Amino acid sequence: MTSNNPLLDFSGLPKFDQVKAEHVTPAITHLLENGRVLIEKLATENQEPTWDNFAKPLEDMEEHISRVWSQVGHMNAVVNSPELREAYNASLPKLTDFYSDLSQDERLYAKFRALKNSTEFSKLTTAQKKIVENEVRDFRLGGAELPESDKIRFKAIQESLSKLTTKFEENLMDTTNHFAHFVEDAADLKGVPEDAIQAAQEAAQADKKTGYKFTLHFPSYMPVLQYGEKRELRELLYRAYATRASEFGRPEWDNTNLISEILKLRLEAATLLGFRNYAEMSLATKMADTPKEVIAFLDNLAQRAKPFAQQDMKELTEYAAKLGIHDMQAWDVAFVSEKLREDKYAFSDQEVKQYFPEAQVLKGLFKVVETIFGVHVKKSDAPVWHPDAAFYEINDQHGKPVGQFYLDLYARNNKRGGAWMDEAITRRKKGNQIETPVAFLTCNFSAPVGGKPALFTHDEVITMFHEFGHGLHHMLTKVEEYGVSGIKGVEWDAVELPSQFMENFCWEWDVLRHMTKHVDTGEQLPRELFEKMVAAKNFQAGMQTVRQIEFSMFDMRLHGEFDPHGKASSLDLIEQIRDEVAVVRPPKFNRFPNGFSHIFAGGYAAGYYSYKWAEVLSADAYSMFEENGVLSAETGQRFWHEILSQGGSRPALESFVAFRGRAPDIEALLRHNGLTA
């Protein structure tokens, strides 16, 4: 089933009106079979590799596979069905295998290296050069240059790491799932919101028990910590949460040894590749150059934020005393903070929401984009997967297409939660034609009810701007080669720049007020309410900043200077870092590292700093708009030209400096967070 398979029709937009689960396996099988034939041909061909005879065919192959797989993945996420899920899960391991073989094919590596060292290389475009360089780098980081014996060891390390990190996550899940605390007396739940109590009662009933069941899952645990008046209950849950997967629980679920094993193996892998430590290896593909640079960055932020964090802590301690808590403990912090927040900023999300009907918000978002980039956004038509989904196009001032996007805003059954941007079609030159980039923008906001339009909370409006920022990065690229077009090839610690940049407009009075129109009265958002929203945004910003720095610093020093074979434990290291930066001291029994799955099971090892790093970039980029007028078209053109259009075709730092005229600076972020005098 390849001749009339809509997934294999690469003309124009995806055929969402025709694609069915039964098309998935034949399409993927066909593409991977052709892919393997092509790889074999390219790897064994007896001719000098050039862009056209070697790199380009590989790019074409990858583009086809990922275009098909993005449609399948998208449908699996937004209109899930048992048939689709089965087809998706059946193809996933085949793709993983395919790419794993591809990334380890030494014959291809040799060809890429030959291409890089050939006379032809200097004649390639910047984007083509970058793609070849990235390939050589990634093969090297994958161990392709190692002598045979080391290669075997390197592969074994990767396999062990994959098992250990999976086990880390499983242990954490198992301890989390295993814990349950039953409250018999409803009086002990004073303060806890009604919906959380109801959920706890239903959970107990499901277990055929009386009373209320509380677990360590966030929606069960957090409301008690935040609102529960009974201190002992807060302490009990806090203690269980803070000691997950540690020596205080079941030995088979203890992550302590896994941490040490993971660190040792990462260090060994890095050393084999010639790095001094794992942090250096992690940074080889990131915008930040050295662990030293990251630590200096974090130190600088810590110094600036700490006085504000101390002030936050002082205010909190004083407020706790007013509530009769004279020895504030870790399990009181969320509770007292919530009381203080309610006291200082009395407004509700519900109140704000009435001012943000969908149509007004979309109009406001498009207006910002149209004003700063000189483009035009308009609704258009295309086959979609669900009646809720809509299709739009972005044209330049001459009416020429720049990009297109699907918008699927509402939560519904069989749709994965969260919000994200994904690439449907990536911009590239194909013959003499330019393929117009297409994005999927997916959110999970409340659908319209009771004949009223959909209303968004301010957080949801921010989410929408954020994802649209990723979308702009993808759609406004001018790159003509697939591998570094749009968000492709952009460093991990820089990829959130355009998305977080767009969020800033949601805090700009002159932008925001035009996006508001009360659903009943038609009035704009009152200025007074806006001021409260801004103040609430920066509530405890000092404390939150030093907390993020604590985690980032721990991660970077753990993978940089820490010796996993030495006497000190990771717990000793985090205590030392807390001495330097923290204002809230967790109790001695707290085993934070044992639950830090971002770095021990996720992709954030020696990369947790990226959150703050990207915030600095986006705030600093935005500050240029603040200087020149927040809707300055001239600055917008410059942002488009130097950052958005460049994609991954050059280092993010180069793009940033070209736009801003200097290296990134932390001042704007501190100012936006209210952390300046």
Q: From residue 381, how far is each of 285, 384, 391 by CA, in Å? A: 39, 9, 6
Least CB distance to Zn ion at residue 98 (A): 28
Q: Which is nearer to Zn ion, 88 or 656 (CB)?
A: 656
* The one segment of 228-236, 379-387, 491-499, 520-528 that binds Zn ion by CB under 5 A: 491-499
Length of the chain: 677
Shortest gap between Cβ of 499 and Zn ion (angstroms)? 4
What is the smallest separation between the CB atom of 496 and Zn ion, expressed in angstroms?
5
Taking the C-alpha atoms of residue 157 and residue 330, their distance in angstroms, rounded to an integer, is 38
Cβ 613 to Zn ion, closest distance in Å?
A: 14
Radius of gyration of the chain (CA): 26
CA distances from 34 to 51, 61, 65, 371 (A): 20, 9, 10, 46
| Binding range to Zn ion, per CB under 5 A, among 345-353, 405-413, 497-505, 658-666 | 497-505
Residue 361 Rama label (left phi>0; alpha psi -120 to 50; beta): alpha
Helix (H, G, I), strand (E, B) or coil at 512: helix
| Most distant CA pair in the chain, distance | 81
Could you tell me the smallest distance in angstroms from the CB atom of residue 608 to Zn ion? 16
Cβ burial of 332 (10 Å; 0-12, 13-18, 19+) is buried
β 401-410/438-445 pair status: parallel
Contacts of 545 (CB under 8 A, 6+ apart): 301, 305, 308, 309, 612, 673, 675
Segment holding 241, helix H or strand E: helix 231-242
Task: Pick between residue 501 and residue 639 the one whose CB is nearest to Zn ion.
Answer: 501
Task: Rule CB under 5 A: say whether 499 interacts with Zn ion.
Answer: yes
Tokens of 538: 């920066």
Which token pair is 676? 């300046």
Q: Which stretch binds Zn ion (CB under 5 A): 193-201, 261-269, 496-504, 558-566?
A: 496-504
Tokens standing for residue 32? 């991977």
Specify the stretch interacting with Zn ion by CB under 5 A; choose among 18-26, 46-54, 227-235, 499-507. 499-507
End-to-end CA distance of the chain: 67
Angle separating helix axes 570-581 and 291-322, nearest 10 degrees: 70
Shortest approach of Zn ion to residue 439 CB, angstroms?
13
Specify the residue, 385 or 465, whose C-beta has the smaller distance to Zn ion.
Answer: 465
Closer Cβ to Zn ion, 490 or 515, answer by number: 490
Q: What is the DSSP string of 75-103?
A: HHHHS--HHHHHHHHHHHHHHHHHHHHHH
DSSP 330: H
Of all residues in the shown chain, the one whose CB is closest to Zn ion is 499
C-beta of residue 675 within 8 angstroms of C-beta of residue 541: yes
The rounded distance, in Å, linking the Cα atoms of 423 and 441 is 9
Least separation in angstroms between residue 442's CB and Zn ion is: 12
Question: 421 forms bridges with which residues in the sheet?
Answer: 441
- Residue 646: Cβ within 10 Å count: 25
- The stretch among 130-138, 359-367, 498-506, 628-636 that binds Zn ion (CB under 5 A) is 498-506
- Closest to Zn ion by CB, 63 or 493: 493
Dihedral-angle region of residue 344 (phi above 0 means left; psi in -120 to 50 means alpha; beta otherwise) = alpha
- The closest alpha carbon to 118, from 62, 55, 59, belongs to 55
Q: Which amino acid, 224?
A: V
Residue 653 DSSP code: H
Given the residues 63, 393, 467, 481, select the one marked as catalytic.
467
What are the beta bridge partners of residue 446?
Answer: none
How far apart are CB 403 and Zn ion at their closest, in Å?
Answer: 18
Rounded Cα gap, residues 502 and 467, in angstroms: 9
Residue numbers 36-75 binding Zn ion by CB under 5 A: none
Instruction: Give the whole-angstrom CA distance, residue 475 versus residue 407.
Output: 14
Site string for Zn ion, 322-361 (x = CB under 5 A): ----------------------------------------
* 471 versus 483: smaller Cβ distance to Zn ion: 471
State the nearest-atom distance from the C-beta of 449 to Zn ion, in Å.
28
Neighbours of 3 (CB within 10 A): 5
Distance between CA atoms of 397 and 332, rounded to whole angstroms?
56
Looking at the Cβ atoms of 179 and 611, the one nearer to Zn ion is: 611
Kindly state the smallest distance separating residue 614's Cβ from Zn ion, in Å.
9
We find the least distance from the C-beta atom of residue 579 to Zn ion, in angstroms, to be: 33
Pick between residue 499 and residue 594 the one whose CB is nearest to Zn ion. 499
**Nearest distance in Å: CB 466, Zn ion:** 6
Stretch that binds Zn ion, among 310-318, 373-381, 492-500, 503-511 (CB under 5 A): 492-500
Please tell me the distance from the alpha carbon of residue 218 to that of residue 606, in angstroms, as a whole number: 26
Compare residues 340 and 652 and give the one whose CB is closer to Zn ion.
652
Count of positions on this chain that bind Zn ion (CB under 5 A):
1
Question: Catalytic annotation on 33?
Answer: no
Q: Give the binding range for Zn ion (CB under 5 A) out of 200-208, 439-447, 493-501, 628-636.
A: 493-501
**Of 474 and 517, CB closest to Zn ion:** 474
Q: Of 219 and 418, which CB lies nearer to Zn ion in the complex structure?
A: 418
Give the span between the Cα atoms of 64 and 10, in whole angstroms.
Answer: 8
114: left (phi over 0), alpha (psi -120 to 50) or beta: alpha
Q: Kindly indicate which of the ranges 66-74, 261-269, 430-438, 494-502 contains the residues binding Zn ion, using the contact rule CB under 5 A.
A: 494-502
Which of 84, 365 has the CB closer to Zn ion? 365
Site residues for Zn ion, 265-284, by CB under 5 A, read: none
Task: State which of positions 292-321 bind Zn ion (CB under 5 A).
Answer: none
Which residues sit at the interface with Zn ion, rule CB under 5 A?
A: 499
- Catalytic residue numbers? 467
